[in-house]
Amino acid sequence: MRIDIITVLPELLKSPFEASILKRAIEANLVNVHFHNLRDYTSNNYKTIDDYQFGGGAGMVMLIEPIDKCISKLKEERHYDEVIYMTPDGETLKQGIANTLSLKKNMIILCGHYKGVDQRVRDLFVTKEISIGDYVLSGGELGAAVLCDAIIRLIPGVLGNETSALTDSFQDNLLAPPIYTRPREYKGLKVPEVLFSGNFPKIEKWREEKAYERTKERRPDLLDRD
């Protein structure tokens, strides 16, 4: 997989890719992540990337020209499966979206700033608009990092134990069941006996029940989803 991230603040985005699972995935060549500074695609001396909005109103709007230049250059080099725009008015990120995107080959992620991009960028280039939640961030970069993390950990070979992504919360629309490790008893709190039974069908059934109970209590909305 190749991910090209277009941003005005590459320095804000880099550190999540320099540690832990994402770093290992990049080093193992399971994913390539490239950052493109939008200011490198401006045509004036001031490297302007935004301007006032037509019709008046507070807030600047990102210009179409540098974005067009950057996306067009990338598209000359290879085919892209998706051009994703990070924006609070996009589709809310869910595990299902991450699952689908983890199967793609090449993706562009465009990070918005200020009031956002000129609508024509969205009309012309963007194939998917994603929000990471119902709150407004100061830019799309942190959202892009969240999206990339959710996608990259699903690429086969990235997680040590291939099955561990399958037992995450939200796969199957269920939250994950409680988990325990040593010691068997801590300050009087005991690990449920069933986990020492060695009876794996029984353990699996217990986990399913607990996952269901937890979901019903905390996120009943998930149980109504397709």
Binding residues vs ligand ADE (CB under 6 A): 86-88, 112, 131-133, 135-137, 140, 143
Closer Cβ to ligand ADE, 57 or 201, answer by number:
57
Write 15-21 long-range contacts (CB < 8 A, 24+): 16/145, 16/148, 16/149, 17/145, 17/148, 21/149, 21/152, 21/153, 21/158, 21/159
What's the count of helices (H) and strands (E) in the chain, helices before strands? 8, 9
CB 33 to ligand ADE: min, Å: 18
Closer Cβ to ligand ADE, 102 or 131, answer by number:
131
Buried (b) or exposed (e) across 105-134, using 16+ Cβ within 10 A? ebbbbbbbbbebbbeebbeebbebbbbbee
CB 142 to ligand ADE: min, Å: 8
Closer Cβ to ligand ADE, 95 or 167, answer by number:
95
Closer Cβ to ligand ADE, 66 or 140, answer by number:
140
CB 101 to ligand ADE: min, Å: 14
CB 184 to ligand ADE: min, Å: 43
